[in-house]
Amino acid sequence: MTLDMMSTGGAGTPSPAWTKPVIETRSLAKTFAISGSEFVALQGVDLAIERGEFISFVGPSGCGKSTLLNMVAGLMPATSGEALVNGVAVREPSREVGFMFQTPVLLPWRTVEQNVLMPGEVFGRKDNALRDKARAVIEAVGLGGFVNAYPRQLSGGMQQRVALARVLTYEPSVLLMDEPFGALDEFTREAMNLELMRITRQAGITVLFVTHNITEAVFMSDRVVVMTPRPGKVSGIVPVDLPRPREIETMQLPRFTEILFEVRHILGGSRGAH
Ligand SMILES: Nc1ncnc2c1ncn2[C@@H]1O[C@H](COP(=O)(O)OP(=O)(O)O)[C@@H](O)[C@H]1O
Ligand SMILES: [Mg+2]
């Protein structure tokens, strides 16, 4: 089995027959009670995301990016409004939706392959087809020579590749990523970004990607959702009309810089941006 079998056709291009968004949020909001007073972490968020879109969320720390992602993932209940995945209101985590955190969370006593197969064991799946799939995905993320290695033998970037292989093996139609490469060095992050784009587009996966790195957001996305804090809300959505496939050279295009500045402008000035 190869990664191509994950493809749902059209290399991520939304099919004309598909009109319903994969992900929708309707007045999605979250309020936390902090020492007796209410704190609005996220104010009514309305989004409609099409199949195969790569959407980034940028904004300063505390603007509610993680809160938003956690509610879409079903890891945290909304205070009001709702999130829908494939038209169904989210109540709990779903197998259709993969989640990747900033740290890889690998079990140190298990090999790369055993770590990738672990969720399958939790679901009660332990078959040859899944193992073949896992091997193909491990290969695709560039760890073909490391199936039997242990996490301690791998660099931080390689460990994050294992986490990526683990989530992709279960063929999510949606991938939620909360600053997944934030702890990696610039070179490793760039390589991971390119591979993530290639793999998710080939498989037609819809990606919601949280980052505080504006350059990374514009480079990868079809649209960048710009958020501001206190209260956390969407202050603008910037479409990224750069050609695909994106290469490092894409960042040299004048249009790239224009879009970057548009995002910065919505964020409220150019200070502190990458
Ligand atoms: N469980 C919680 N209890 C209270 N406040 C929280 C909780 N989770 C997040 N917050 C607050 O909500 C706001 C948004 O947090 P978060 O979604 O983590 O922001 P971001 O990911 O954009 O940095 C922050 O001010 C944070 O302190
Ligand atoms: Mg966060």
Q: Where are the domains of the chain?
A: 21-96+174-183+206-273
With the most atoms of ligand 1 within 8 angstroms of its CB, the residue from 39, 43, 210 to mutate is 39
∠ CA(145), CA(149), CA(150), 5° rounding?
A: 155
CA distance 204 to 189: 22
Q: Between 112 and 188, where is the model more confident?
A: 112
8 has a pLDDT exceeding 90: no
Confidence band of 268 (pLDDT split at 50, 70, 90): confident
pTM for this entry: 0.90
pLDDT attached to residue 272: 45
pLDDT attached to residue 214: 95
| Lowest mean pLDDT segment, chosen from 16-20, 45-49, 236-240 | 16-20
Q: Does domain 21-96+174-183+206-273 have CATH number 3.40.50.300?
A: yes
- Please list the residues that pair with 26 across neighbouring strands: 82
Confidence band of 13 (pLDDT split at 50, 70, 90): low
**With 0-12 CB in 10 A as exposed, 13-18 as middle and 19+ as buried, what is 180?**
buried
**Do the Cβ atoms of 251 and 219 come closer than 8 Å?**
yes
Average pLDDT, the chain: 90
Q: Does residue 33 line the site of ligand 1, with CB under 6 A?
A: no
Structure tokens at 176: 């939620």
pLDDT attached to residue 271: 46
34 has a pLDDT exceeding 80: yes
Q: Does residue 61 line the site of ligand 1, with CB under 6 A?
A: yes
User: Exposure string (b/e) for 227-261, b if CB count within 10 Å is 16 or more?
Assistant: bbeebbbbeeebebebeeebeeebeeeeebeebbe
CA distance 236 to 233: 9
Q: What is the mean pLDDT of residues 92-116?
A: 94
5 has a pLDDT exceeding 80: no
Q: Does residue 225 line the site of ligand 1, with CB under 6 A?
A: no
pLDDT attached to residue 84: 97
Q: Does residue 90 line the site of ligand 1, with CB under 6 A?
A: no
| Lowest mean pLDDT segment, chosen from 169-183, 236-250, 259-273 | 259-273
Per residue in 129-152, pLDDT tens? 999 999 999 998 999 999 999 999
10 has a pLDDT exceeding 70: no
pLDDT attached to residue 16: 55
| Lowest mean pLDDT segment, chosen from 156-165, 178-187, 256-265 | 178-187
Q: What is the mean pLDDT of residues 98-113?
A: 94
User: Which percentage of the chain shows pLDDT scores above 90?
Assistant: 78
pLDDT attached to residue 184: 86
The ligand with the least distance to the CA atom of 57 is 1
Residue type, 206: T
Nearest partner of 150 among 133, 162, 138, 132, judged by Cα? 162
Taking the centre of ligand 1 as the mean of its atom positions, its distance from the CA of residue 72, in whole angstroms, is 15
